[in-house]
Amino acid sequence: MKKVAILGSTGSIGTQALDVIEKNSDQFEVSVLSCATKIERLIQQIEKFHPKMVIAAEEKDALLLSKKYPHIEVDFGLAALSTAAAGEADIILNSLVGMHGLVPTYHAANAGKTIAFATKDTLVAGGELIMKTAARCGATLLPVDSEHSAIFQCLEGNKGRRVRRILLTASGGPFRGKSRAELENVTVEQALSHPNWNMGAKISIDSATMMNKGLEVIEARWLFDIPAEQIEIVVHPQSVVHSMVEYEDTAIIAQLGMPDMRVPIAYALSYPERLKLPYASLDFFGSAKCLTFEKADRSVFSCIQLAYDALKAGGSMPAVLNAANEELVAAFLARQISFTSIQDTIAEILARHSCKYCCSLEDILEIDRETRAITKTLI
């Protein structure tokens, strides 16, 4: 039995991971569950999966849970998530959203754990730190993001072979094909309604601005140790080809499947084995009959270019991009700013920032705090 600690079990990735675990209960045991706001959902998960430990974001919720479940260890806050990340579980699924994922990931890497890794923002802000720590301490990072899981699978069995390009596919989001003028007045509801994937609010808005793809370019750069110039975005509206790797002989290996996050989650949890899953197969004569590919429009979706530029600049720039984006997405969701203000304000913040070397956890957290403060004044 593999013991799994799920940080962020009440979110979109967390609940889908629990679906995979429930269908394979002879192979996995849930040791840790955690939530921030969805206490009722966490209680349902506790009743079903009987974890040894649960972590809330706030002390008052932890008190409530410890009264209800006196036999379970209950704690709260970032320190508890970090302790659990470095604890006894065989695999840590980090499905926390945004920068909340960084510190627990660092502690898991430092403890040499196997980490199933959804929280891309962590690698955007702290890629160099996390990868160096993982290498030094013998930790393994297994990608959960469908594109990175696909790339990981396309690279398997080809260790040491030269890669010409990574072809990172993108659905294009709900506003594919729209002009800049058409994006000016889009609503929160329109931006949240992704054509292919049902995801948490933050990543849904990132998909609409296409910042999600920019963040994924940075994630791929660190996970696969490949320069940004060799990572190309290919818009593929059907989300059937999850990504591809082209080798130096021009042969391309692709990974295909239904757009269902439970499949890459299952692969990360079961690696190097594959689980028997009861989900629908891809229908080549139905939904996959016509697969199309387009270039991403970086002039309309300028977040893509901003992410490439931040990655090229290096140092503190990606952490600034990430923090500014997180604050601006929250402000858009709170209806304080327009959709296009997200990309315009990030561009302004990056232009003002003087890039510095930034490789310790403290440096990254400091840059993150500074950038959030600046972004809030601009909002």
Ligand X SMILES: NC(=O)c1ccc[n+]([C@@H]2O[C@H](COP(=O)([O-])OP(=O)(O)OC[C@H]3O[C@@H](n4cnc5c(N)ncnc54)[C@H](OP(=O)(O)O)[C@@H]3O)[C@@H](O)[C@H]2O)c1
Residues at the interface with ligand X (CB under 6 A): 8-14, 35-38, 57, 95-97, 100, 118-121, 145, 197, 199-200, 202-203, 261
CA 163/CA 246 separation, integer angstroms: 6
Q: How far is the CB of 58 from ligand X (least distance, A)?
A: 9
Nearest approach, Cβ of residue 181 and ligand X (Å): 29
Beta strands, E only, the chain: 2-7, 28-34, 53-56, 73-76, 91-94, 114-117, 140-143, 163-170, 231-235, 241-247, 252-256, 294-295
- Amino acid at residue number 27: Q
State the minimum distance, in angstroms, from the CB of residue 360 to ligand X: 22
Tokens of 139: 């930790």
Pick the closer one to ligand X by CB: 118 or 350.
118
> How do strand 91-94 and strand 114-117 relate by DSSP bridges?
parallel
Strand 73-76 with 91-94, pairing = unpaired
Q: Least distance (Å) from ligand X to the CB of residue 357?
A: 25
**Min. distance of Cβ 269 from ligand X in angstroms?**
14
Q: Which is nearer to ligand X, 37 or 336 (CB)?
A: 37
**Minimum Å distance from CB 213 to ligand X?**
12
Q: Are 186 and 175 in contact (CB under 8 A)?
A: yes
Smaller CB distance to ligand X: residue 100 or 221?
Answer: 100
Residue 264 preceded by cis peptide, ω within 30: no
Q: Which residue, 61 or 309, has its beta carbon nearer to ligand X?
A: 61
Q: Which is nearer to ligand X, 80 or 246 (CB)?
A: 80
Q: Which is nearer to ligand X, 9 or 375 (CB)?
A: 9
| Closest residue by beta carbon to ligand X | 11
Nearer to ligand X, 188 or 355 (CB): 188
Helix (H/G/I), strand (E/B), else coil: 343: helix
Strands across the sheet containing 294-295: 252-256, 241-247, 163-170, 231-235, 294-295
Query: 15 phi and psi, to 5 degrees?
Result: -70, -35
* Least distance from ligand X to the Cβ atom of residue 164, Å: 26
